[in-house]
A and B are shown apart, each in its own frame.
Chain A
Amino acid sequence: MNEILEITLRSLLVSGSATLLAALFGLPLGIWLGARARPQRLAASLLYAGMGLPPVVVGLLFYFLLSRSGPLGSLGLLYSIPGMVLAESVLAFPLIAGFAMAGVAAKAEPVRRLVKSLGGSELQVHLTLLAESRRVVVAALAAGFGAVISEVGAVTIVGGDIRHATRVLTTAVVIETRKGELERAAALGVVLLGVTLLVTAILVVFGDREAP
């Protein structure tokens, strides 16, 4: 298989899986926090702080955890795709949860007031809020995906940038630039941009669909 295609597919696999894993926990948490009548300041502060997590620090943390002498060393996940997915999902989690929380919080009160004023139940408040939050969910997913697909520090440390095994678009751009293969590096960069734009566009189209 063409190596650029192979690297692109691997990037999509790692970033997509990490985004989905982070969304699995981040979206319910963010929506729950945002929908609460009283803001949870500590949780919000932690999430916002987590948005600025340095990828190399997360990579290093996972290196310690997954290395042979580390507490999770027996799993054999260092320099593997599952290990990269785990590290990337930690980076995406606060972004997804934080964006979801902020977006839902902005709508929670007007939606609650509308549903209650029309005689709706608490369950209907939450269902309406969920339906009204789809653009927020899309923004959260796009932010999470964008952050992990363009990230280089954690995937390099945890994945090791092994050719035909863990090399992804960002680490490939770095390695090709170092080798002086600037045309190849530029081509990989264009592919990276294209993939990011395409996935974001798909998410936006999905978010713009009218609620049933």
Chain B
Amino acid sequence: MIAAQNLEKRFPGFLLRVPRLRAEPGEILALLGPSGAGKSTLLMLLAGLLPPDAGRVERTGPAVYLDQQPYLLERSVLENAAFGLRLKGVPRARARRAALSWLSRVGLEALAERPARGLSGGERVRLALARALATEPKSLLLDEPTANLDPANVARVEALIGEERHRGRAIVLVTHNLFQAKRLADRALFLLAGEVVEEGPAPAFFEAPKDPRTRAFLSGEMVW
């Protein structure tokens, strides 16, 4: 589970305020909103990568954040996948064995010994997911994991995210793709200029949004 209460983060000319947020184990919460609404900032606050100015974040177990453009180390695919485990002090041979099984799950085992920097966009995301999942986090915080990917890779990454939900991870997903949010999310939260406009179960959120700004956003109107 990952949750936040009365969370605030200020930047010059911008205030992010989230009174309440919660993603239960086995649940995907989609964070929606236009660019600059504060979605990525909120995700980094949840991950503990940014300190909040007020409020608190609760996590049951480790949470792993996946960047929009995941950084791959100048090492092999396998060493990248094992990196999180190595940070936790897992011996190299054991970390590599575990990493290899995660690479196999994301379909990259054949590329294990290749330099990670040579991977395609979709392969990079899958490797970053394998690296994150190898550490067995309780929560996954995904910042637009399928941005700029082709449909086949989008489907592959979405399938992985869906599997991880079924494995009981709490997942917070930032996406600009409303169709993806509808396909994956159990709950959705709409942010606008740092404010939570609406939050609720996905079916009600997408089919009968209460706030006119949410309706406008979901119907493709420009809102900011």
Is B73 interfacial (CB-CB < 8 Å)? Answer: yes
Which chain A residue shows the least CB distance to B70? A114
Contact B73 A119 (CB under 8 A): no
Complex Cα distance, B89 from A67, in Å, reads 57
Complex Cα distance, B65 from A120, in Å, reads 12
Contacts known (A119-B135, A128-B73); A113 close to B67, Cβ less than 8 A? yes
Please give the residue numbers on chain A whose beta carbons come within 8 Å of chain B beta carbons, in ascending order: 110-111, 113-120, 124, 128, 131-132, 134-135, 210-211
Given contacts A114-B73, A118-B83, 10 further A-B contacts (CB under 8 A): A113-B49, A113-B65, A117-B66, A118-B87, A119-B84, A119-B88, A119-B135, A131-B73, A135-B74, A210-B74
Contact B71 A110 (CB under 8 A): yes
Complex Cα distance, B62 from A211, in Å, reads 27
Is B131 interfacial (CB-CB < 8 Å)? Answer: yes
Query: 0/1 per residue, B135-178, Cβ < 8 Å to A?
Result: 10000000000000000000000000000000000000000000
Query: 0/1 per residue, B97-135, Cβ < 8 Å to A?
Result: 000000000000000000100000000000000011001
Is B64 interfacial (CB-CB < 8 Å)? Answer: yes
Complex Cα distance, B67 from A116, in Å, reads 12
Complex Cα distance, B100 from A136, in Å, reads 30
Is B57 interfacial (CB-CB < 8 Å)? Answer: no
Contact B74 A118 (CB under 8 A): no
16 contacts between A and B (CB under 8 A): A113-B49, A113-B65, A114-B67, A114-B73, A117-B49, A117-B67, A118-B132, A118-B135, A119-B62, A119-B64, A119-B87, A124-B87, A134-B74, A210-B74, A210-B75, A211-B73
